[in-house]
A and B are shown apart, each in its own frame.
Chain A
Amino acid sequence: MSVSEQDLQDFRQEVSAWMRDNKPADPGFLLPQSFMEVGTEQQLDFLREWQHKVWQAGYLGMAWPKEYGGGGLSPIFQSIADQEMRRHGVPICFNVIGLGWAGPLINDIGSDEQKARYLKGILSAEDIWCQGFSEPDHGSDLGSAQTRAVREADEYVINGTKIWTTMGNYARYMILLARTNPQTERKYDGLSFFLAPMDVPGIDAVPIRKVTGEYGFTETFFKDARIPAESLMGGEGQGWKIAMKTLQYERGAEAGAAGGLAFERIVIDDMIEQLRDMSRDGAPLLSDPVTRDHLVRLIMEEKSIALGDKRAAIAPLTTDYPFSLQLSSKLRITEYARRMRQFAIAQQGAAGSLYVGDEQARQGGFWQRAYFNSFSATIGGGTSQVQANIIAEHILGLPK
C-alpha cells in the first residue's frame, strides 16, 4: 500500500482538527506529568477516558493489526498523530507499559491467542499493564533479579519483591522478570519472562510515596502467588533476551509502539513565559544580567540537544566518536531537564518556597513538582552516573 504525500498532509489536518476539538478542558485537579505519576483514582479515571477516546477516534495503535483493535496502517500515520498530540498539548496516553513495552512484544513474538487476549485491552485502556523488572536490592542491575518462579504442574509459583512498579496498584497484568533457575553459570540464563495476571492471591502492591508527595509506584510483594504456566513468554531461560527486546520498542511507532504521549514535554519556552512578569530588585527579572546569562546557557543546552539529533543522522559529522550522540542522549536530556526546572524555581523569589496545594503557588506549584519529578528520569532507566560510565567505557574506551 503506497501512501502519498497528499494522503499524509490530509491526515495531519484531520488529526490536528480532532485534537483541537477534543482536547479536554482543565479538569480542576493536577494531571500527571508522566505515566509514572498516576496517584489518584481521579487522575486514573480521567486518563483512562482520554486514552479510550483517542483509540476510538482511531489515533492510537494505528499500525497494530486491525483484528486486534489496531488500525492496520503504516506507522507513519501514528508518528504524525503523535506529533499533533504533542503540538496541541493534549494529555498523555498513560498505559505506557502496555502501549510501548508489552503490546509491541506480544505483537512481535506472541501467539495468536495472546494477541487476541491482550492487545485490544491495552489500546482501549481497559487493561492497565505494569512492569516488574527492578528489585529492591538490584536497581540498575536487572540481570541479578532474585524473584523466584517455580513450575508446579500447570502453574508457576512466584515469590519475591519487585519495586518501582508504575501503577502496580491499578494494573491487571505485569510483564515480570523472574528466576526459574538459580543455578545457571551466567546469571542472565536463569531468568524467564511472564505476562503475569495481577488479580491472583498472594500479590500485594503497596503504593510508594515519592519525593513530590504523590504516588504512582508500588513495591510489589509476591507470596506464593500462582500464575498459569501459559503466562510464560518464550521458553524458560529466555527472560533476559526478551526483557532487552522490550526496551527497543520505546523509540516510537516505527519501532512497534502503539503511540500516544508518555509524558508532558516541558521546554524552555514554557519557563521563559513564566519569568516575564517576575521581578528582581524592583526591575523586570528578564532584565537582570545574571539571570539572562544563565538563561542563554540553558537555551543553548536545549538547542544543542535538538541539533545533536540532527547531526547524529549525518555520517561524516559523526566519525570522531561514533554513536556518542545516541549513547549520551538520555544523560544529556535528563540532566538538562533537571537543571532547567531547578532554575525555574530559583527565579520565583519568595514564591519559590510554595508548593502544590498553596493557592498562591506559581502555576499551582508546577515547577517545584516538575523539578522533583525530573529525578525519575535521571535515576530511572540507569542513573546518570551509570550512563556516564557506559559512555566513558564504550565511546572513549576508558577501562572499567
Chain B
Amino acid sequence: MSVIANTKLSFDEDQAMIMEVAREFCRNKSTMQAVRGLLDSASGFDSNAWRELADLGWLGIALPEQLGGSGLGVAHTVAIVEAMGRSMLSGPFVTSTLAAQLVLRAGSSAVGDRLLRDVIAGVPATVAQLESADWGSDSCACLIDDNGQLQGSKRFVADAEVAGWLVLVSRYRGAPALALIQAEQLPPAAIKTHTLVDETKRAATIDFSGLQLAPEAIISTEGLSAALRDYALLGALLSAAEATGSAAACLDSTVEYLKTRKQFGKLIGSYQALKHPCVDILNAIDASRSFLYHAATLLGDEPLSRDAEIACRMAKAQASETLLYASDRAVQFHGAMGFTYDCDAQLYIRRAQWSQQQFGDAAHHRKRLAALLLDE
C-alpha cells in the first residue's frame, strides 16, 4: 500500500458558513490595536468577545445536542481556530474545546456532564497534563492517593487562571485517571503564572497538593487511554490550525511591507531575494491548510483512526515549521523596523515559538509518523 494512501478532503456547507462567520467575527473583535491592548492584561482576552462567541454557540459546536451543544463534531472547530490564529484573537477557546473533548471521550459521568454544560455556557476549562517539558514523556508523579487526596503539581497549564474547570491527568489506584476540579477547590496560592514568550497567551504551574477529591470527580474508565491519545492529537491539530492562520496573517503583513517600502529607488518587493522566500512561505501555508482540512475530513466522535492520526501529526509538523519560517522571515524582511517591538512581526515570531511547543514540535510528530508510515 502506498505511504500516501488516504487523501480524502471535503468541506461541507456548515463548515463553509462557520468559516465565514468566524473570520468576520475575529476580524472585527481582534484588530491589531485590540491585540496589543490585551498584551499586558491579566486574563489576556476580551471578556465581551468571549461572551459573544459563547452566545454564538461556538463552544458547543463539538459537543452533543443532549447537553446543549450542536453535535457537529470537532472538525467544525478547525476553521474557527484558524480564523482566531489569523486575527491573533486570544482567549481560552482552544483550551476549553480540548478539555471538553477529553472529558467527552473519556466516557459519560455526572460531573463530566456538568463540566461540559458549563463549557457550552462559556465557563473556560483547561487540561493539566505536563509535568516536564517533554511531550514524549508519560511519567506521572502528580497522583491521587487511595483516599482521593492529591499530591504534586503540573506545569504549562494553559489559561489556568481563568479556567472554571481543571481537568487533571493523573493516576488513581494504579490506573490512569482524570480528576475534574473546580477552580474554587484549588488551595490558596496554588497557581504560579508563567512568563510566556507569546504575550497573547497565558499559562501557569499549579500545585494540587492537599486537594481533596470527591469520589465522583475521579474518572478512571477503560476508554481513558484512547481518550488521552486523541486529546493529544486533537491538540496538535487545533494548534496547527491556529498556527496556520497566524502564518497567513504574517505573510500578508510582510508582503504589504514589501509592496510599499522603497530602497535604492526600488520597491523592495521587486527583489527576487525577498520574493522567492515569500513564495516558499505561501506554498508552505498551502500545504498546512491542505493537511488541516484533510485531517478535519477524517475526524468523528469515535476514536481517531490511523489515517486521522497521520493527518493530525502531519498538520502539526507542517504548520509549526511554516509559522517558524514565515515569522523568522517577517522580522528579517522588515529590516530595522522588524527588530522593534512596535512592528507586528514580533507578535508572529513570538507566537511561532509558543505554538511549535504545543502538543509536540515538528520533530516529535515526524518521529511518530516514521513509525506509522515506515514500520507497519
**Chain A interface (Cβ within 8 Å of chain B)?**
267-269, 272, 286, 289, 292-293, 295-297, 299-304, 306-308, 310-311, 314, 316-317, 320-321, 324-325, 328, 331-332, 385, 388-389, 391-392, 395-400
Q: Are A304 and B318 in contact (CB under 8 A)?
A: yes
* Given A292-B374, A295-B373, A300-B318, 6 additional A-B pairs, CB 8 A: A296-B366, A296-B373, A300-B291, A307-B291, A385-B276, A398-B269
**Number of A-B contacts defined by CB within 8 Å:** 132
Q: A299-B3, A399-B259 are in contact. Are A392 and B286 (CB under 8 A)?
A: no
Please, could you name 14 A-B residue pairs with CB atoms under 8 Å apart, sorted by A?
A268-B3, A292-B374, A297-B366, A299-B369, A300-B369, A303-B4, A304-B286, A307-B287, A316-B16, A320-B289, A331-B283, A395-B282, A397-B259, A398-B259
Q: Are A306 and B16 in contact (CB under 8 A)?
A: no
Separation of A277 and B2 alpha carbons in the complex (Å): 18
Separation of A269 and B287 alpha carbons in the complex (Å): 20
Q: A307-B290, A314-B11 are in contact. Are A299 and B282 (CB under 8 A)?
A: no
Q: Are A321 and B283 in contact (CB under 8 A)?
A: no
| Chain A binding surface SS class | helix
Q: Are B255 and A308 in contact (CB under 8 A)?
A: no
Cβ contacts under 8 Å, A293 to chain B: 363, 366-367, 370
Closest A residue to B248 by beta carbon equals A320
User: Which listed residue, B7, B11, B283, B291, touches A316 by the CB 8 Å rule?
Assistant: B11
Q: Sorted from nearest, which 4 A-B pairs have the closest CB atoms?
A: A307-B290, A304-B287, A292-B370, A316-B16
Q: Are A308 and B276 in contact (CB under 8 A)?
A: no
Closest B residue to A325 by beta carbon equals B286
Q: Are A308 and B269 in contact (CB under 8 A)?
A: no
Shortest distance from the beta carbon of B317 to any chain A beta carbon, whole Å: 7
Cβ contacts under 8 Å, B370 to chain A: 292-293, 295-296
Chain B, 1-28, contact with A by CB distance < 8 Å: what is the 0/1 string?
0111001111100011001100000000
- Which residues of B95-118 are within 8 A (CB) of A? none
Separation of A297 and B276 alpha carbons in the complex (Å): 21
- Which residues of B248-304 are within 8 A (CB) of A? 248, 251, 255, 258-259, 267, 269-270, 272, 275-276, 278-279, 282-283, 285-287, 289-291, 293-294
B314 on interface, CB distance cutoff 8 Å: yes
Shortest distance from the beta carbon of A357 to any chain B beta carbon, whole Å: 31
Q: Are A328 and B283 in contact (CB under 8 A)?
A: yes
Cβ contacts under 8 Å, B275 to chain A: 388-389, 392, 398
